[in-house]
A and B are shown apart, each in its own frame.
Chain A
Amino acid sequence: MSDVPDVPSLRLRRATPARIGLGRAGSGIPTAPLLEFQLAHALARDAVQTPLDADALAATLVRAGLPPPLILATGAGDRTTYLARPDLGRRLDHASRQLLEDTPAPPCDVAVVIADGLSAPAVESHAPPLLRALQTRLANWNWARVSIVRQGRVAVGDEIGALLSADLVLVLIGERPGLSSSDSLGAYLTWAPGPARCDAERNCVSNIRPPHGLTPDQAADKLAWLMTQARRRRLTGTALKDEHTALPP
């Protein structure tokens, strides 16, 4: 045993949302935490199935002073197809592509794509405040109209960014729900979006999920740093390390 002084276990419990200190029934988990786990699993599975209310999200963004977003969809028409066919979720459907081709797209610094991914609740809760925080920090950037994509995956941003003639695409997308985090948002940055990009050419800020994960301000600090660096060095991906240190909460 060590003689080093005690750390109150309560402080430890408060320092993490992880399921620590559950106790034991033999080797097994006691009944109450067993059922709490099953409750969380049920909620997460239900969150995956919740559809994105694109019109309500668009209205929220308009109320925040943005131009009306483009509302798009991929070729994965429903959740079941979306889950089984990632290839379809990476490409716009015909009508959406047509809409973008018909939309004037003067060259711009960055295009923001908001996609449901695997958690519409994450997108609806955290994308608007994050976008506001980011636009405040990069007010002198030239922003394309925001796109909202139903049944979208990260790589759909490559197609949209290219069609909008953007140097950089930022995809805000609902992450795979965890048991205690059914509303976690991820942000993916890709320089020179287009069909040739792969995942190693992106930078990601994940776990945007106040209060347990990053707040919109913390995430915006990281993203603004990455975006500035990306523009200066004309690249994203593993060659661009996240050397920005977030301020303590």
Chain B
Amino acid sequence: MPSVHRIATAYGATAAAALARRFEGNIEERALLGVRGAYTIRVGDYLTSADTEDWCETGPVTLVLNPRTRCRWIAETMYRIDLGAARHTFASLAALLAAASPARSGDALAGLAARSNLERVAARMVLADLPLADLLTDALVPYETDEVTRLILDGHDAAAFAALSHLTVGEFREWLLTDTTSGASIAAVSPGLTPEMVAAVSKLMRNQDLIAVARKIEVVTRFRNTLGLKGRLAVRLQPNHPTDDPLGIAAAVLDGLLMGCGDAVIGINPASDSVDAACTLLHMLDQVRLAHAIPAQTCVLTHVTNTLAAIQRGAPVDLVFQSIAGSEAANRSFGIDLAMLREAHEAALSLKRGTVGQNVMYFETGQGSALSANAHHGVDQQTMEVRAYAVAREFAPLLVNTVVGFIGPEYLYDGKQIIRAGLEDHFCGKLMGLPMGCDVCYTNHAEADQDDMDILLTLLGVAGVNFVMGVPGADDVMLGYQSTSFHDALYARDTLGLRPAPEFETWLDAVGLLDDAGRIRPVDFDRAPALLALPEAIR
């Protein structure tokens, strides 16, 4: 599989003949490695259009080209369907996936969205009949210029995929929904799934399908506590401050702890980009954690190069944070590559700070980031998002957070699009085997409000999301957007019968914050300093 460069697939006699004509002669350049389907062709074989007359009776024909050959042609057309009097054609797999996507502003901005509702359904009909295996072999982003594609294809687990290799995308959807398909059976095939397969099936799923399947999948990770267990909902405590003032941050941490939040991570987005500031905050968070023996991890969400520098200075780093995306070029726009992430992963592991596990990475993603960096390669934003999960999967993260509505209305226009994207990201991440959380959020220039966030939060709670955000009053005073609040987390846990991470729940009880029913007792903030005193260094 690593040798695959570009593949053209033809359906039907005419298309197969046209395809063969395009490649005729080029075989002498030893470009062809093989033909999947009924025929196998060896390197050096000569291909003529006459050969295709046999093939077309046996179904789709795929030409696999040698990556060492500088192929200048582009695979053309191959997906079409007649609906009534209209013929719908899709020039590439990327075009087909984009047209099959539920409507969103980012795909329209990229010029990739379906041009009509009819075309969108036509694309879904073609996609439903596409063999899953085709998604494995047609690289949407070129193999030789993109290390994320190489990661996906080189690391593919063919043995895990074998159980699904006979299915179409539509049949895969039905398999996922079937009663006898358990979370364990999904986990068993997960290493055999590529982002493209996962994105494709999600496009055929209604919101309730995304919820029903994700709910089956349990992805458990550990550092100082155990996250992702069924029946649990963890919260990242997000105590950001406009100038990184330690006391101001500590105040928000106390407020969150009093409301039972912080089990996923106590994580600050720093206003400053400096290593000094990151180290100051890391020490401060560690002091608070140690002062009260809180079974949780802390993090300063700064660039991976800053975290590496902080580790070298001996700062108490629990987790390495980084924003990631689905192509090499998009990651470059974040100032990272896979080698840098590997170095940081190893550096964090070497500290051995986890007590119940060693998942040490915290990734954030979000649809639209690749397009925003002009690094989407003509691929729709939801598929690019799932490719970012292939990057995350490589590093056994503790937390993966899709910051769904942060990017703005040019990518997800309104509440409806944000809700859909949040459910897609959670489902796709879980299918890829990731500990998915969601920053249920929106900005002030999007057509959305708290009521939309209530809907998404509730749906994700039902879907079994590993964690959500806890921001004081839902208002992030540093990043300037609205997320979910400590109150929202209480609502979700209370309404859906979900509990904090077990070690954290035990701690909450030990410090007197749980009532007899296991709920968080209402505590007046004025009592906070008496209940959870701040270490002297911060006061």
Whether the pair A29, B473 counts as a contact (CB closer than 8 A) is yes
Q: Which residue from chain A places its CB closest to the CB of B527 in the assembled complex?
A: A9
Query: Which residue of chain B lies nearest to A240 when distances are taken between CB atoms in the complex?
Result: B273
Knowing A2-B291, A4-B535 are in contact, say whether A177-B480 is a contact too (CB < 8 A): yes
Inter-chain pairs besides A3-B533, A12-B254, A207-B478, 13 sampled, C-beta below 8 Å: A1-B530, A6-B533, A11-B247, A16-B241, A17-B242, A19-B485, A21-B526, A37-B475, A48-B445, A83-B445, A198-B332, A199-B333, A238-B305
**Contact residues on B (Cβ < 8 Å of other chain), bracket:** 35 or more
Chain A proximity of B364: nearest CB distance (Å): 15
- Enumerate chain B interface residues (CB-CB to A < 8 A): 105, 109, 239-243, 245, 247-252, 254-255, 259, 271-276, 291-292, 303, 305-306, 309, 332-335, 372-373, 408-410, 413, 443-445, 449-450, 471-482, 485, 487, 490-491, 494-495, 511-512, 522, 524-536, 539
User: Which B residues lie within 8 Å of A44 (CB)?
Assistant: 444
Bound-state CA distance A184–B487 (Å) is: 27
**B109 close to A86 (CB less than 8 A):** yes
CB <8 Å contact, A176 and B487: no
Is there an interface contact between A245 and B533, defined as CB atoms closer than 8 Å? Answer: no
**In the complex, what's the smallest C-beta–C-beta distance from B492 to chain A, in angstroms?**
9
Q: Given A87, A213, A249, which contacts B109 in the complex, CB threshold below 8 Å?
A: A87
Query: Which residue of B is nearest A45, CB measured?
Result: B444
Identify B250's interface contact among A12, A17, A241, CB under 8 A. Answer: A12
A86→B474 CA distance, assembly (Å): 27
> A118 near B: Cβ within 8 Å?
yes
User: In the complex, what residues of B have CB within 8 A of residue A24's CB?
Assistant: 259, 487, 490, 522
Give chain B residues whose Cβ lies under 8 Å from the Cβ of A245.
274, 276
Contacts of B524 in A (CB 8 A): 21, 23
Residues of B within 8 Å of A8, CB to CB, are 529
Contact assessment for B444 and A176 in the assembled complex, using a CB-CB cutoff below 8 Å: yes
Interface size class of A (residues with CB under 8 A): 35 or more
Q: Which chain B residues lie closer than 8 Å to A41 at the CB level?
A: 444, 449-450, 482
The interface centre, meaning the residue of A3, A21, A212, A213 with most chain B CB atoms within 10 A of its CB, is A21
- The answer to whether A17 and B477 touch across the interface, beta carbons within 8 angstroms, is yes
Q: Are A198 and B373 in contact, with the CB atoms below 8 A?
A: yes
**Cα of A8 to Cα of B250 in the assembled complex, Å:** 13
A207 to B480, CA, bound (A): 9
List 21 interface pairs A-B (beta carbons < 8 Å), by A numbering.
A1-B511, A2-B292, A2-B533, A6-B530, A7-B534, A12-B525, A12-B528, A16-B245, A17-B248, A17-B477, A18-B475, A26-B494, A48-B445, A84-B109, A84-B413, A85-B109, A180-B475, A180-B477, A181-B477, A182-B444, A199-B373
Residues on the A chain within 8 Å of B479, using CB: 178
Across-interface contacts of B478 in A (CB, < 8 A): 207
